[in-house]
Structure 1
């Protein structure tokens, strides 16, 4: 586990008020290979799992093609309902500054892995505070994990690759994990770590406004709404909302998510970040660092960053960026 990880982003004033980051659906990521798997991968994985359970003395039924198609559809839906928060191990990469931090006009946020990443982290996983708890179905990886880079797509033709860690473990976990955290070698410069979350758990959704959505929202006045431009609406849940409502499939939050995901394909899902987890801010060499200073100074939750703001400067002898401390 790395001690610090980083997020390249534009300089957004609203972040310094609400501390929210977007979880991007797999189908909206900039790599077209994300969130997909082919029939051979699935059938190899299914055969490997059958071989493993048979070896354990279990009776494994041979499934019909339509049953296998159903399992494939279920696994694919797992990708449709989760989002990725992307981080990196490196705050000095010139390509990352150009691609993801508004061409050096943005910032990099540094996070301390020993602090809870998300607000409302009132559960525990081992000795670590957690927002979402144990991911029984392998859909959630709250604490960022490293992406693996390779030329070949993941293969699943050997039973030991998918062997469950325990009898009670969901047997498709390692299949999903490999697909969640494997990318082409072409992306290796990103040194990515990613957190995987369920989009239905979002603290804020920005989507198209419609009458049905308004009717659902009227059932819970605690949920704040704000009309935006171009017919959009912003939906914000109270802190620890899950503690106040039954969060089953019939919950208001589940109904809102189903509607905004099914009928609002461009919906944006935002999650509250714990400001205490932010351990530093790096301003790009073209960034208005005085504005960053002002935004930090305005928010008492960021008082611990007084001596942890830096400006990136171009080295005079090598193609590299160096950090220089900025005093508030």
Structure 2
């Protein structure tokens, strides 16, 4: 297992209040070749499958190194940002992910690949309407959301004929990017804790839920809105499936996660695909404070920003174990050195 993993980022003080990070959807990735396979999708007959796979997920990118000068310039606000070190032995995200994924779907929507009867607890009384979609379940297990995967660098783009190995399409990049030593976590769009959208998309999201007008939102600059929609979706689901409540309360995580995924997928995913096409849309996921080991502050960060940053760490009880380092530029070599400036533990 890799020992250290790092996230380059601008210095956002609110990160240490809400611990939210961005997962980048296809249309916001900085490489135009990403998730665009070789060959013509129109001629392959697999366009729908690509839409349902490429467009349903976001990518959280991290690196094996914290001292790459190019990455400090490109991703950490020209050395005025930070690098967050995560412990790869711990789950990075607060949300629960599991590898034994079962994709539920309405029987009328399962076109090929076979089905399995649902005979487990919370879902069993609905087996005349929904079933386990075998093909979709395999695809989701292959993608293995919520876990780290090493990016592979290649001169050739993945081809549509290799669709069954769908995870490769999220992990293969041009070898021009090899210096990044990237790893990725693939995350479902419908698992985002918070979404930032332009006001032109609000009606679409309101219409996706029974209680759309109860969605909590925060108005931001440039006609953008920060929305908390997940709780509303769960209330909708429990209204239709009250049998799920004991599993939620008793923490039968696998069953409840599969059911909530089914509900969000059937009522919500198409709307997310549409708003994800707007690169202004931001999908935010909460990271686990236990997974954060340390933070490295850029060599160009203003003194006042550093002081404010340290106060944020001090004021968050869940981050008292985090060490803070300050970068400085070598006077002789093209490299950075890091000195500890704050340690609570």
TM-score by length of structure 1 reads 0.74
- Mapped partners of 1:134, 1:6: distance in 2: 30
1:147 corresponds, among 139, 143, 151, to 151
Are residue 110 (structure 1) and residue 114 (structure 2) matched?
no
Q: 1:12 to 1:74 in 2, by over 3 A?
A: same
Q: 1:253 to 1:39 in 2, by over 3 A?
A: closer
SS across alignment from 1:247: helix
Match of residue 25 from structure 1: 25
SS across alignment from 1:141: coil
* Backbone CA RMSD of aligned residues: 3.1
Q: 1:134 to 1:247 in 2, by over 3 A?
A: same
- Mapped partners of 1:142, 1:252: distance in 2: 17
SS across alignment from 2:221: coil
- Mapped partners of 1:36, 1:29: distance in 2: 11
**For the Cα contact (< 8 Å) 2:297–2:327, is it kept in 1?**
yes
- Mapped partners of 1:235, 1:268: distance in 2: 10
Residues 4-83 of structure 1 mapped to structure 2, 5 A cutoff: 4-39=4-39, 69-83=44-58
Q: 1:283 to 1:248 in 2, by over 3 A?
A: closer
Which runs of no fewer than 5 residues in structure 1 stay unpaired?
43-65, 127-132, 163-171
Q: CA deviation at 1:230?
A: 3.3
2:283 corresponds, among 269, 276, 280, to 269
Give 1 or 2: higher helix fraction: 2
**For the Cα contact (< 8 Å) 2:209–2:236, is it kept in 1?**
no
**For the Cα contact (< 8 Å) 2:192–2:285, is it kept in 1?**
yes
* CA-to-aligned-CA distance 1:131-180 (integer Å, 9 cap, x gap): xx9963534432121111122334698xxxx7xxxxxxxxx442x22221
**For the Cα contact (< 8 Å) 1:227–1:233, is it kept in 2?**
yes
Q: CA deviation at 1:277?
A: 0.4
* CA-to-aligned-CA distance 1:48-81 (integer Å, 9 cap, x gap): xxxxxxxxxxxxxxxxxx9x74424312441122
**For the Cα contact (< 8 Å) 1:115–1:276, is it kept in 2?**
yes
Q: 1:226 to 1:276 in 2, by over 3 A?
A: same
